[in-house]
């Protein structure tokens, strides 16, 4: 417009009409003359000052004007015609009234004296208006279409995102979790053989942990089955022993009674033979059924000093034991105790053997037993005149749950350690004293 290219302006106006619901476009000067229009018939026509375009300012106070200073445009909606009227004021500015095109226009004016001398006066505020009539229906249709497109696009994106997430979750989480669930079901059914393929990341770590747990469960189950078998065998053995022991008690007591009442020497001898055979059966039953099903003490009534004497008599045949003087004494009558005779015998045997090796040139082995009535316990003191217990081992032995290593420990240390364990299995207590000059003292307390 500044260059006064009227054809281009007319073409531009015609081009935009029909686009985006624009029905018509026209450009008016401030006097109300239509200078350009998409409707050629109305060019140079004059619009009334009562037209809404004019009354917006001219019949309102300035404060009520729809074009307060430098307003860019104004729109208003005609509900009846369903049209939107948009008007843009063309403000005057130095670039308008000082532009070259105006000078050339002025030159033309100068050449043609019939035309006024100037186009725009710098005192003018508004030069004119661009007014567009837009179809509200078309805009609303466009808006609706855009909204539908947006909604459709959102749904498509959401579906795509959901699909991608579903595939990702299925591949990365769902399948490994499904395999893990199947693995758990297999384990629940008692099948520990198939492993879950280990993957990557946290689920992979979980699968590895699960496989490890499965291996441990399998191993535990195997051990459990073995234990159950052993326990069943042990239980069966116990029940059989009980079934034999009940009638055997009757046989023993009745035979004893018959022996006491019999006056016939031959009959007594026969009965005593029956009794000795019955006692033999008792011993056999105990030996058979107290076999090594479990490594626990097999309790029976035991005369512990008889075991001590038996061990001494056996060891007496050894050459290095012959130079050792033995002294076995009891303070008072000792009751029988409940103990595993085999275990006790082995422990005392090992103890005396270790003592004897500590006294290679001879010495004294003293065993003294006493029944402590108020505590219902038998106290046995085992003493020798051999070497002292190595101090570090003695310290471990005196601890309540001290354990000596199997390598690097002296023979006497290991023997005393095993001896202590056997005594504790019999609910007994043990104490050690060790002096360089006076040898060793082992004090045992066993419940009577």
Among 335, 360, 362, 405, binds other proteins (CB under 8 A): 335
Single out the segment in contact with other proteins by CB under 8 A; choices: 69-77, 212-220, 297-305, 408-416.
297-305
Residue 384 Cα to chain centre, angstroms: 59
Single out the segment in contact with other proteins by CB under 8 A; choices: 45-53, 131-139, 187-195, 294-302.
294-302
Q: Nearest approach, Cβ of 338 to other proteins (angstroms)?
A: 6
In sequence order, which residues have a C-beta less than 8 Å from that of residue 361 and are 6 or more positions away?
A: 323
- Is residue 338 a contact point for other proteins (CB under 8 A)? yes
Nearest-angstrom CA–CA distance, 90 and 27 = 9
Contact pattern from residue 240 through residue 279 relative to other proteins, giving x for each residue in contact according to CB under 8 A and a dash for the rest: -xx--xxxxxxxxxx-xx--x-----------------xx
> 86 near 132, Cβ under 8 Å?
yes
Single out the segment in contact with other proteins by CB under 8 A; choices: 62-70, 160-168, 239-247, 355-363.
239-247
Among 99, 183, 271, 340, binds other proteins (CB under 8 A): 340
Q: Nearest approach, Cβ of 245 to other proteins (angstroms)?
A: 4
Q: Considering only residues 197-236, where is the footprint of other proteins by CB under 8 A?
A: 234
In sequence order, which residues have a C-beta less than 8 Å from that of residue 298 and are 6 or more positions away?
A: 286, 290, 340, 342, 343
Among 427, 431, 435, 438, binds other proteins (CB under 8 A): 427
Nearer to other proteins, 92 or 290 (CB): 290
| Beta-strand relationship, 83-91 and 429-435 | unpaired
Nearer to other proteins, 333 or 400 (CB): 333
Among 286, 309, 310, 429, binds other proteins (CB under 8 A): 286
Nearer to other proteins, 200 or 235 (CB): 235
- Is residue 424 a contact point for other proteins (CB under 8 A)? no
Nearer to other proteins, 141 or 253 (CB): 253
Single out the segment in contact with other proteins by CB under 8 A; choices: 50-58, 106-114, 282-290, 409-417.
282-290
- Is residue 298 a contact point for other proteins (CB under 8 A)? yes
Q: Nearest approach, Cβ of 251 to other proteins (angstroms)?
A: 8
In sequence order, which residues have a C-beta less than 8 Å from that of residue 330 and are 6 or more positions away?
A: 305, 368, 369, 370
Among 165, 185, 219, 238, binds other proteins (CB under 8 A): 238
Nearer to other proteins, 38 or 290 (CB): 290
Q: Considering only residues 350-379, where is the footprint of other proteins by CB under 8 A?
A: 373, 376
Binding site for other proteins (CB under 8 A): 234, 237-239, 241-242, 245-254, 256-257, 260, 278-279, 282, 285-286, 289-290, 293-294, 296-301, 335-336, 338, 340, 373, 376, 427, 447
């Amino acid at each position: 417009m500044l260059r006064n290219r009227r054809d281009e302006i007319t073409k531009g106006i015609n081009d935009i009409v029909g686009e985006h619901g624009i029905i018509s476009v026209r450009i008016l000067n401030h006097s109300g003359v239509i200078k350009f229009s998409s409707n050629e018939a109305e060019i140079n026509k004059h619009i009334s000052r009562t037209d809404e375009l004019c009354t917006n300012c001219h019949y309102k106070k300035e404060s009520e004007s729809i074009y307060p200073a430098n307003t860019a445009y104004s729109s208003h909606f005609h509900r009846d015609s369903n049209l939107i009227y948009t008007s843009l004021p063309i403000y005057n500015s130095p670039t308008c009234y000082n532009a070259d095109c105006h000078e050339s226009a002025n030159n033309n004016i100068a050449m043609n004296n019939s035309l006024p001398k100037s186009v725009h006066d710098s005192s003018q505020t508004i030069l004119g208006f661009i007014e567009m009539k837009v179809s509200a229906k078309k805009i609303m249709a466009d808006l609706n279409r855009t909204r539908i497109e947006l909604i459709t696009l959102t749904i498509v994106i959401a579906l795509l995102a959901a699909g991608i997430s579903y595939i990702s979750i299925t591949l990365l989480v769902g399948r490994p979790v499904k395999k893990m669930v199947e693995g758990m079901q297999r384990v629940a059914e008692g099948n520990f053989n198939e492993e879950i393929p280990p993957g990557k990341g946290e689920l992979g770590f979980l699968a590895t942990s699960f496989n490890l747990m499965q291996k441990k469960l399998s191993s535990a189950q195997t051990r459990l089955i073995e234990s159950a078998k052993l326990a069943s065998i042990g239980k069966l053995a116990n029940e059989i022993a009980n079934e034999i022991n009940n009638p055997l008690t009757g046989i023993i007591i009745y035979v004893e009674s018959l022996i006491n009442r019999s006056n016939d020497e031959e009959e007594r001898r026969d009965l005593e033979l029956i009794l000795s055979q019955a006692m033999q059966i008792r011993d056999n039953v105990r030996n058979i059924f107290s076999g090594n099903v479990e490594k626990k003490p097999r309790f029976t009534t035991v005369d512990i000093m008889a075991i001590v004497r038996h061990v001494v008599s056996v060891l007496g045949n050894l050459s290095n034991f012959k130079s050792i003087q033995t002294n076995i004494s009891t303070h008072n009558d000792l009751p029988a105790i409940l103990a595993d005779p085999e275990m006790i015998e082995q422990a005392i045997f090992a103890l005396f053997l270790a003592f004897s090796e500590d006294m290679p040139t001879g010495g004294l082995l003293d065993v003294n037993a006493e029944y402590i009535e108020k505590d219902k316990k038998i106290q046995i003191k085992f003493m020798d005149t051999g070497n002292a217990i190595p101090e570090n081992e003695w310290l471990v032995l005196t601890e309540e749950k001290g354990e000596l290593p199997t390598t690097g420990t002296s023979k006497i240390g290991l023997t005393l350690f095993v001896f202590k364990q056997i005594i504790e299995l019999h609910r007994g207590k043990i104490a050690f004293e060790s002096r360089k000059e006076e040898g060793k003292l082992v004090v045992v307390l066993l419940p009577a």
